[in-house]
Structure formats: C-alpha cells, structure tokens
Amino acid sequence: MTDWINFPAAATGAGRAASAPDRAGVANWLWFVAALVFAMVVVGGATRLTESGLSITEWKPVTGVIPPLSYADWVAAFEKYKQIPQYKELFPDMDLARFQTIFLWEWSHRLLGRLIGIVFALGLVWFWLRGALTSRLKWQLSGVLALGALQGAVGWWMVASGLVNRVEVAQERLAIHLLLASLTFAALIWIAGGLRAPRRAEMASTTAKVFAVLLALATLKQIFLGALVAGLRAGLTYNTWPLMDGRFIPPVEQLFKNDPWWMNFFDNITTVQFDHRMAAYAVLALALLNAIFARQTGVARRGWAIVLLVLCQVGLGIATLLYSVPLPVALAHQAFAMIVLGMVIVNARAAFPARA
C-alpha cells in the first residue's frame, strides 16, 4: 500500500516507508496552520465590526509589518486616513487615540495573514526538502499556497473598494474574501484529515456521502451569505425572529425592488437577510439528515454533534439579530461558523477516506 508520505531512500539504496509519526508531523503542521486561519477569521470579523478595515490605506507587504513607532508616524498615518470618504462622512470627529485603536486591529489582521504565509511556506519547504511529501500531496499543498496568495490579493482588492466613493468596503468583495479564507481552512482540514489513519473503518453509504458533501457546500454558502449581511450591516434591520417586519417571507416587491433583479441577492438588505435566514434552516435540515443517514456508531455520534453545533450557531445568530449585533455575540457567531465548517469537513473527509 502506498503511503501518503515517503522519505528518501537510505544510503544503501533501500527505501523505507514513512512511519506514523512522520505522517503525524505533517498533519500537526497543517492543523496548526488551520488554527491560525481560524484566528485570522475571528480577528477579521472584529476588524469589520469595529470599522477598522480602512484604517490602513496602503498595501506594503514587507515594510507594512512595522506599525507607526513615533508620534509623527501616527499623525502621518492618520492624515492619510482623513483623505478617504469613511473618515469624512462617518467619523469626522475621530481623534488620534481612536484612530490608533482601529489601526491596530487592521494591522493585527494583516500581520496574522503574513504569519500564516510564513508558517505555511516554511513548513512546505521543510517537508518538501526532507522528501516527506508524495507528488499528490505536493500538488495539494501548492494549491493551498496559491489559494493563500490569492487571499492576500483579494484582501487588498476588498480594501481598495472602500477608499474611493464609498464609506465601507464592497460587500461582495468582503464575502469573496471570507469565502476564500473558509476554503483555505477547509482544504487544510481535508488534507490533514487524510494523513492520519481513522480509528475505525468507516464504510459510509452513498446517501451518507451525498449529505456530507451537501452539508459542507451549504455551510460554505451560508458563510458567504453571512459576509454579505455583515458588509451591508443588514443585521441592524429586521431585529425580530422568526418574522421580518411581521412576515415570515417579505413581500416580493421588497425582495426584488432593485434592477436588475439578480443584484438583489447582493445589495438588497431585505433579500440578503432573508437568504441568510433561509440558508440557516437549510443547513440545520441537512445536518439532521446527515446524522440520520450516518449508520455507524462513531459516524452517528459525529453527525449529532454537528446538529448540536448548528443549533448553537443558529442561537447565536438569533441573539446577534435580536440585540442589534453586539460585538462579543457577533464575534462568537462568526467563530462558531468556522467551528461548524471544520466539523462538517472532518465529517465529509471521513466519508471519503484517503485512497490507498
């Protein structure tokens, strides 16, 4: 049976199979990077909720790692922020102390992104040079590296949308940014999950596999919709549940008031919040079906654990809405979304064990 990880042949010319600890080393590195991505998403959520994302108006991949160190440096950075519409229209009374707070949120977010890139790149080089990666794994990890690079570029593309003619970043770019982060997180967990032998043989039925995949896709879609809600500040409207302005389904003329009709799914607050609510119900239904069709004992326990996590996430979403997006609850809602995503990816990975 071909191992996932192979080391170079010994000096005698005889090869040796990778041991379990060898595979575990690569897996542990990937799990660590996934944890950093999780932290990145949470910090990114705080950056958005505190209106900090536009505080740094330049993209300096190398020198930007150093924040302003003197009073003069801080004043210069503040003057650059004063030139954009967000300051002029939303925060004209902001003082330097307040600016330093939002600046450090955005700086921390970017610094964490750089750290993730360094940890992943160095780990990739280390294991690659040791001969610890198969060709298949090299391609997979190179794809993750490219995805991370794309994420950085999209991050600046997102920020740039809020520097001219807008007081905030474009919500569709914010959603793409978060979706890419979620895909990176999911890819890391998927690959890491395939490097460790399962504790028990799991022979998932075709139906169970289908629902595992559908649940993963629905979770990713819901995260995308959640970013649209955040970008439009849609959580500050219709602060009742389960009805929206006294109706479970808003009137069609409200859902499709913009032209062309398809733009309502991206820039109509009513439509975006309604979609996010309906998608939450769909994720919960798929989680229940996933648990029901998981026949094996271990898989069934994992399935019902996912149901419990989704219920907690729904509860956090309702609380976020009812209390008009308080920062701690909103951050918990975003963090729990990533926990649910991680769990559904683990579930899907177990349904499709690594090929021999």
CA separation for the pair 85, 98 (Å, rounded): 17
Helix (H) or strand (E) holding 253: helix 252-255
**Do residues 81 and 99 touch, judged by C-beta distance below 8 A?**
yes
Reading phi first (left if > 0) and then psi (alpha if -120 to 50, else beta), residue 52 is in: alpha
Tell me the residue type at 64: G
- Determine the pLDDT at residue 3: 40
CB 224 within 8 A of CB 178: yes
The count of other CB atoms within 10 Å of the CB of residue 11 is 6
95-104 LR contacts (CB < 8 Å, sep 24+): 99/55, 99/74, 100/74, 101/50, 101/52, 102/50, 102/51, 102/52, 102/55, 103/52, 103/55, 103/56, 103/67, 103/68, 103/77, 104/67
Give the pair of three-digit tokens for residue 345: 């990816």
Q: Domain ranges in the chain? A: 19-197, 200-356
User: What are the mean pLDDT values of the chain's consecutive 10-residue runs (356 residues total)?
Assistant: 38 40 85 97 93 91 89 95 93 94 95 95 93 90 94 92 90 95 97 76 76 95 96 93 94 93 94 97 96 71 92 96 94 96 93 68
Alpha-carbon distances of 144 from 62, 147, 236, 305, 355, rounded to whole Å? 21, 5, 35, 28, 20
Quote the crossing angle between the two packed helices 171-193 and 327-351, to the nearest 10°.
40
Give the integer Cα–Cα distance in Å for 226 and 77. 31
Q: What is the pLDDT of residue 105?
A: 95
Specify the pLDDT at position 272: 97
| pLDDT score, position 200 | 58
DSSP per-residue codes, 279-312: HHHHHHHHHHHHHHH--SHHHHHHHHHHHHHHHH
Decide: pTM greater than 0.85.
yes
